[in-house]
């Protein structure tokens, strides 16, 4: 018997044995070999606008309760001390800020403030407030309350309260507190009657108005804070009585009960100044495993969940589940560490070669959710400073190989780092994306050395804390419409992730941040985007479209690129 025949026989015997256990099932649909994405990004925005328009026609009421599954329990109910999406999801139901967002966009729109004026020097902002607004505890929302909030934020006690772990947004935007050295850029707040308030900063901060739409700056009831929020120096403020049992805002819902680790129940705020929510009770239950969330929705135990895995889209749709796309406000990129010891990634030609080797359309079509689009720069199109006029690197393996030859780097071997056990909105299945890009790189003669690490802490430790990585997959979801929130975070200073020192770029970014008006900033950021795409520290790959899944009887949900999604208009029809 030939060797092959023997192998076959053994294999067939084993297969028969296994099949006898009767567990084989055939694969489903036809294999997908397309390399063209089948939708464009504007579709997600168009879909969103359609949903928004449909809200007016949706039923005014339905079931008494709406159940949503979150991936983790909120860390605290005091939004100022939160920085993760699940805590914010809950916060968005109970709190509102001076500024909200225009539906389906990341752009600021009036909310608690009906209008605002910026002084020419960009350092002073005057807001006109809505009248007749109350907090859920019945106390009035007015100019004094606004100032009380700012003073509360600026005067955090020493200790954990003054770290990024606890007060991330204030610290990163205002860069300090009243008693730090240097102090924060917040100077003072002065009420003018009940409905006008002026906030003064010590330096211009163009993104200030947009930043006020962040849930961290939701307006909180000063009297509730005073009564329940006692924090001493050195103490952790996230577990005060206020944060656990009495979070008080002006939003459509208020806290009913919080069974920590398990679920949180919200009920309609009787003192709400706007249109009353159509579903009076919300339960947000915690199910940590994404597959378990999907199973729970299929089984009717919950009414919706966020961040559907690409692999579940088809089965869910087949089962009648509705999928809602959230307009993309993120970026997925391939970072290239210019301090990498194993290959000359600091050679521009090598980076360009890698860029040309990647078929972004295929990556989007095969590994990202439908509706995702390819990216040509490091910010999404809706962000200020986006320009189509940047250097592009189309898929061209021939060009890639030529460039590698020119650079004298024809037998490169590069560590390709990617995370496991994680799904981010901008990177739903990292291993699949890794596999595809890896194949594309190998096709131009680059040997890829896969380095997989668990997301927390190993992957982030390695990429952001050390120089021991080659090329890697990472990304970012924007918090609000400010270019610095993307470019500043990536390229504002020397970092282990990118491994380069480019003083002109750093100073261009810090100057741009200081420019007092949005219009003037725009041209500056456009220029910076062009510079970045010439310098090519990494390859921007795509703007993936995250999606939510809802039961077939759920209507009225309107997604938001920055997750400004109160459940006010959601109805579970019967």
Instruction: Give Cα separations from 370 to 246, 432, 542 (angstroms).
Output: 41, 15, 12
CB of residue 112 vs other proteins: minimum separation in angstroms? Answer: 27
- Given 249, 310, 371, 566, the residue binding other proteins (CB under 8 A): 310
DSSP string, 121-150: TSSEEEEEEPSS-B-TTSPBP-HHHHHHHH
Torsion of CA 267, 269, 275, 278, to 10 degrees: 10
Q: Are 426 and 307 in contact (CB under 8 A)?
A: no
Binding region for other proteins (CB under 8 A) out of 202-210, 268-276, 404-412, 427-435: 427-435
Write out the two tokens for 511: 């100057």
- Given 1, 5, 27, 388, the residue binding other proteins (CB under 8 A): 27
Residue located via tokens 């917040």:
186
Q: What's the CA gap between 340 and 19, in Å, rounded?
A: 49
- Given 291, 320, 394, 408, the residue binding other proteins (CB under 8 A): 291
State the binding string over 213-252 for other proteins (x if CB under 8 A, else -): -----------------------x-xx-------------
- Pick out residues in 457-496 that bind other proteins (CB under 8 A): 457-458, 460-461, 464-465, 474, 476
CB of residue 164 vs other proteins: minimum separation in angstroms? Answer: 4
Q: 287: burial class by Cβ within 10 Å (0-12, 13-18, 19+)?
A: buried
- Given 28, 36, 57, 388, the residue binding other proteins (CB under 8 A): 28
Q: Are 203 and 185 in contact (CB under 8 A)?
A: yes
Write out the two tokens for 423: 């799904």
- Given 265, 346, 467, 553, the residue binding other proteins (CB under 8 A): 265
CB of residue 85 vs other proteins: minimum separation in angstroms? Answer: 11
State the binding string over 342-371 for other proteins (x if CB under 8 A, else -): ------------------------xx----
- Given 38, 121, 179, 421, the residue binding other proteins (CB under 8 A): 421
6 or 60: whose CB is closer to other proteins?
A: 6
351 or 462: whose CB is closer to other proteins?
A: 462
363 or 375: whose CB is closer to other proteins?
A: 363
Residue located via tokens 């901008």:
426
Q: What's the CA gap between 51 and 327, in Å, rounded?
A: 12
CB of residue 303 vs other proteins: minimum separation in angstroms? Answer: 9
- Pick out residues in 79-118 that bind other proteins (CB under 8 A): 83
- Given 59, 193, 270, 315, the residue binding other proteins (CB under 8 A): 315
22 or 120: whose CB is closer to other proteins?
A: 22
Q: Are 112 and 96 in contact (CB under 8 A)?
A: yes
156 or 387: whose CB is closer to other proteins?
A: 156
The answer to whether the peptide bond before residue 527 is cis (omega within 30 degrees of 0) is no
Which of 185, 72, 198, 91 has the alpha carbon at shortest distance from 144? 198
- Given 1, 2, 5, 26, the residue binding other proteins (CB under 8 A): 26
143 or 446: whose CB is closer to other proteins?
A: 446
Write out the two tokens for 344: 């000359």
* Contacts of the segment 266-275: beta carbons below 8 A, 24+ positions apart: 266/90, 266/93, 266/94, 269/94, 269/136, 270/136, 271/134, 271/135, 271/136, 271/138, 272/136, 273/130, 273/132, 273/133, 273/134, 274/568, 275/568
Which are the contacts of 155, defined by CB distance < 8 A and separation ≥ 6?
Answer: 177, 178, 179
Q: Is the four-CA dihedral 423, 426, 429, 434 of positive or negative sign?
A: negative
CB of residue 47 vs other proteins: minimum separation in angstroms? Answer: 20
Q: Is 298 in the site for other proteins (CB under 8 A)?
A: yes
CB of residue 111 vs other proteins: minimum separation in angstroms? Answer: 26
Write out the two tokens for 82: 């939160």
- Given 452, 515, 527, 536, the residue binding other proteins (CB under 8 A): 452
CB of residue 404 vs other proteins: minimum separation in angstroms? Answer: 23
- Pick out residues in 145-204 that bind other proteins (CB under 8 A): 159-160, 162-165, 168, 171-172
- Pick out residues in 40-79 that bind other proteins (CB under 8 A): 65, 67, 69, 73, 75-76
Binding region for other proteins (CB under 8 A) out of 139-147, 259-267, 268-276, 509-517: 259-267
Q: Are 221 and 247 in contact (CB under 8 A)?
A: no
Q: What's the CA gap between 272 and 406, in Å, rounded?
A: 66
Q: Are 484 and 206 in contact (CB under 8 A)?
A: no
3-state secondary structure of 238: helix
**DSSP code for 141:** P
HSE-up of residue 123 (Cα within 13 Å, Cβ side): 9
125 or 434: whose CB is closer to other proteins?
A: 434
Give the interface size with other proteins as a residue count (CB under 8 A): 91
Q: Is 573 in the site for other proteins (CB under 8 A)?
A: no
Q: Are 450 and 416 in contact (CB under 8 A)?
A: yes
- Given 226, 314, 341, 443, the residue binding other proteins (CB under 8 A): 314
CB of residue 120 vs other proteins: minimum separation in angstroms? Answer: 32
Q: Is 320 in the site for other proteins (CB under 8 A)?
A: no
CB of residue 92 vs other proteins: minimum separation in angstroms? Answer: 19
42 or 317: whose CB is closer to other proteins?
A: 317
Helices 290-298, 310-318: crossing angle, 10 deg rounding: 10
169 or 186: whose CB is closer to other proteins?
A: 169
Q: Is 25 in the site for other proteins (CB under 8 A)?
A: yes
Measured in degrees and rounded to the nearest 5, phi and psi for residue 152 equal: -60, -45
CB of residue 443 vs other proteins: minimum separation in angstroms? Answer: 13
Binding region for other proteins (CB under 8 A) out of 31-39, 214-222, 387-395, 507-515: 31-39
Helices 348-357, 430-442: crossing angle, 10 deg rounding: 110
């Amino acid at each position: 018997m030939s060797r092959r025949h023997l192998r076959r026989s053994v294999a067939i015997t084993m297969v028969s044995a296994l099949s006898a256990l009767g567990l084989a099932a055939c694969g489903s649909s036809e294999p997908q070999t397309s390399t063209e994405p089948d939708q464009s990004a504007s579709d997600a925005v168009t879909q969103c606008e359609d949903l928004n328009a449909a809200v007016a026609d949706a039923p005014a009421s339905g079931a008494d309760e709406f159940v949503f599954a979150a991936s983790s329990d909120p860390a605290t109910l005091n939004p100022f001390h939160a920085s993760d999406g699940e805590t914010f999801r809950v916060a968005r139901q109970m709190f509102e800020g001076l500024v909200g967002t225009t539906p389906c966009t990341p752009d600021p729109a009036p909310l608690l403030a009906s209008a605002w004026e910026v002084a020419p020097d960009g350092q002073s902002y005057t807001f006109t407030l809505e009248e007749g607004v109350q907090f859920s505890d019945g106390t009035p929302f007015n100019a004094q309350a606004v100032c009380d909030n700012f003073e509360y934020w600026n005067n955090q006690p020493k200790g954990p309260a003054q770290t990024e772990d606890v007060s991330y947004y204030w610290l990163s935007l205002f860069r300090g507190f009243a008693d730090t050295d240097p102090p924060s850029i917040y100077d003072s707040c002065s009420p003018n009657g009940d409905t006008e308030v002026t906030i003064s900063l010590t330096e211009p901060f163009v993104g200030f108005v947009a930043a006020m739409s962040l849930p961290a700056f939701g307006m909180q009831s000063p009297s509730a804070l005073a009564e329940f929020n006692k924090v001493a120096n050195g103490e952790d403020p996230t577990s005060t009585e206020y944060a656990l049992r009495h979070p008080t805002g002006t939003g459509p819902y208020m806290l009913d009960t919080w069974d920590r680790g398990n679920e949180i129940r919200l009920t309609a705020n009787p003192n709400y100044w706007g249109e009353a929510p159509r579903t009076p009770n919300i339960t947000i239950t915690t199910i940590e495993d994404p597959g378990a969330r999907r199973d729970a929705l299929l089984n009717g135990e919950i009414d919706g969940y966020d961040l559907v895995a690409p692999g579940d889209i088809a089965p869910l749709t087949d089962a009648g589940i509705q999928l809602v796309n959230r307009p993309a406000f993120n970026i997925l990129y391939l970072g290239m560490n210019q301090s990498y010891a194993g290959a000359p990634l600091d050679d521009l030609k090598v980076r360009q070669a890698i860029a040309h080797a990647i078929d972004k359309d295929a990556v989007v079509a095969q590994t990202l959710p439908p509706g995702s689009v390819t990216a040509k720069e490091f910010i999404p199109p809706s962000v200020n400073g986006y320009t189509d006029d940047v250097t592009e690197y189309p898929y061209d393996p021939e060009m890639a190989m030529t460039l590698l030859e020119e650079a004298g780097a024809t037998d490169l071997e590069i560590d390709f780092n990617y995370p496991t056990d994680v799904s981010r909105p901008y990177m739903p299945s990292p291993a699949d994306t890794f596999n595809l890009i890896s194949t594309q790189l190998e096709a131009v003669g680059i040997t890829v050395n896969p380095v997989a690490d668990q997301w927390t802490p190993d992957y982030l430790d390695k990429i952001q804390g050390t120089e021991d990585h080659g090329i890697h997959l990472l990304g970012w979801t924007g918090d609000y419409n400010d270019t610095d929130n993307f470019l500043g975070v990536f390229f504002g200073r020397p970092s282990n992730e990118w491994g380069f020192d480019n003083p002109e770029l750093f100073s261009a970014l810090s100057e741009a941040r200081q420019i007092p008006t949005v219009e003037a900033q725009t041209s500056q950021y456009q220029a910076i985007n062009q510079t970045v795409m010439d310098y090519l520290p990494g390859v921007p790959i795509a703007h993936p479209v995250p999606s939510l899944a809802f039961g077939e009887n759920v209507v009225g949900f309107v997604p938001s690129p920055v997750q400004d999604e109160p459940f006010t208009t959601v109805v579970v029809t019967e």
